[in-house]
Structure 1
């Protein structure tokens, strides 16, 4: 779960050139959820995500 959250947050803020996909057997955050995650993170933690 830790890797999923790390990669999803990196993809949401665009600070790393990667997507949220993980290799099997781990679950990934769906690509379509990244924009929603980014908006929620910006509202909750504006000082973290510019």
Structure 2
């Protein structure tokens, strides 16, 4: 079991969230891939200017 405190949008109070190690790893990978896609799109827009 993995627990972490996650910042909630619009609040200064972090929320504690617990999940299995497998789910935490899957979530981390999805978030990492999403950030890569966002960065890739950002680079495309910068190249156009």
Q: Tell whether the structures are fold-level matches, with TM greater than 0.5.
A: no
Q: TM-score, normalised by structure 1?
A: 0.33
| Structure with larger Rg | 2
Greater helix share, structure number: 2
Greater strand share, structure number: 2
